[in-house]
Amino acid sequence: MATLSEIQKWLDDRLATLLAEYEVPGAAVAVSWRGEVIDAAAGVLSKATGVEATADSLFQVGSITKVWTTTLVMQLVDEGLVDLDAPVRDYVPGFVIDDEAAAAAITVRQLLCHTSGFEGDIFTDTGNGDDCVEKYVAQLAGVTQLYPPGEMFSYNNAAFSVLGRLVELVRGKPYATCLREFVFTPLGLTHVANDANEAILHRAAVGHIRPEPDADPVPAPVWSLMRSMAPAGAMLAMRPRDLLAFAQLHLDGGKAPDGTAVVGSDSVKAMQDRQVELPPLGMMGNAWGLGWEIFDWQGSTVIGHDGGTIGQGAFLRVVPEYGLAVTLLTNGGTMIGLYQQVVGHVLRELIGLELPPLPTPPADRAPLDDVTRYVGTYSCDVADITVSQDDDGRVWLDHTPKGEIAELGGKPDPVELVRLDGDTLITLEPQQGFHQPQAFIGDDGSGRALYLHSGRAMRRAQS
């Protein structure tokens, strides 16, 4: 096995070359093991300015924020102010969705582990005031319930803005203030920002996007998503070392380096306990805890989370049995490929744990003869997905965004699907370096799949 100093040398020698290979403008990495932390960085924070990335540069962590929001909620559980199995309406009376019975029944726990069942990709900008999360929750009134609360996993961004509002109401303070007072400060974090106004005080990365699928990444036109989605991961930014200080909190039973109890040990354990199992979805884990994603890798349990914002991508993996945490923060390009190389090398060399390969279409693909179970339209508030078969027997997935999502970008081209395994198909061509599995689950009563699941469940439309 390698030493941490050998990992440091590998990062110093190889990171810049790997960035060029995967067209990633800039990245920063940190590894925490046996009480020691190393970090490294390469590339630029923005191709427009040429400012070099350093280990102290801030990158957005995206949906890794959801674990921070969960920590704020679990602090309230520790204090006896919140019951995980109580209806969220006990704490957020203004929580209303289209299905009144579901709104009254959904629990805090279900929000935390993505089993609440309502449409979660609602990206509504309600301004930059301290009331933006409150306004966001109020506009969920017409959102559709996709399946009964607790029935299955479906990734839900909106749920975490509801949880952010819960924290605000119980604490009587804005979400950003709660993060700083109850997490940043007790952990002694120095390079962390709630928004662009705070990020500008540091060296901050700018996201990069590809104007066309084969184009070089260019700086994104805006720095972040809307503040109303901050509890879900729209804005939080930090250097890798500060992200690992947060991860270490969850390795040390909820205690800060000075021994201060930031969150209870029982809550730390509860966050890492399996709450719901997932279908095979490629990059996603095998199960979800409270906030944490859970991976089963070669007999080891790994916890973590990924995050994606406008042209930035973040990866965090923690192996509790080895006391190891590693994070990679990036600002564009083929970020998943870089993750496979960097995080894969760290885990393999330090603890002998192999990163599972990403799913790819089988070389000896079974023909898709009878696709009656799969074809049709699957619909939610933000998109329609139509699965069809052409005259040559090829199966296609056509994604049509709706509402505000449609306004953010154009309609993607149809993608061809082939069989991966059982009732899971997979995109034949990669998108951003990844072949996305599409799991067809359930039964609509006539043998057809009731849901199409790619991390988010979409219900078959009535026909």
Give yes or no for a contact between 311 and 208, defined as CB atoms under 8 angstroms apart. yes
Residues in the chain: 463
CA–CA dist 380, 142 (Å, integer):
12
CA–CA dist 395, 183 (Å, integer):
48
CA–CA dist 50, 53 (Å, integer):
9
Assign residue 130 a region (left: φ > 0; alpha: ψ between -120 and 50; beta: otherwise): alpha
CA–CA dist 64, 232 (Å, integer):
8
Q: Which of 353, 360, 351 is nearest to 418 (CA)?
A: 360
Helix, strand or coil for residue 304?
A: strand
Long-range pairs, 412-419, Cβ under 8 A, ≥24: 417/368, 417/387, 418/361, 418/362, 418/365, 418/368, 419/362, 419/365, 419/366, 419/368
Give yes or no for a contact between 61 and 245, defined as CB atoms under 8 angstroms apart. no
Which phi and psi angles does 307 have, rounded to 5°? -145, 140
- β-bridge pairing 424-427 and 415-421: antiparallel
Q: Which helix (H) or strand (E) holds 30?
A: strand 26-33
The DSSP secondary structure of 267-292, one letter per residue, reads HHHHHHS--EE----TTS-SEE-SS-
Q: Which residue's entry shows tokens 């604490």?
A: 171
State the DSSP code for 193. E
Helix, strand or coil for residue 227?
A: helix
Q: Which residue's entry shows tokens 């599995």?
A: 437
Any idea which residues carry the catalytic annotation?
63
Give yes or no for a contact between 263 and 78, defined as CB atoms under 8 angstroms apart. yes
Assign residue 133 a region (left: φ > 0; alpha: ψ between -120 and 50; beta: otherwise): alpha
Which phi and psi angles does 457 have, rounded to 5°? -85, 135
CA–CA dist 38, 30 (Å, integer):
6
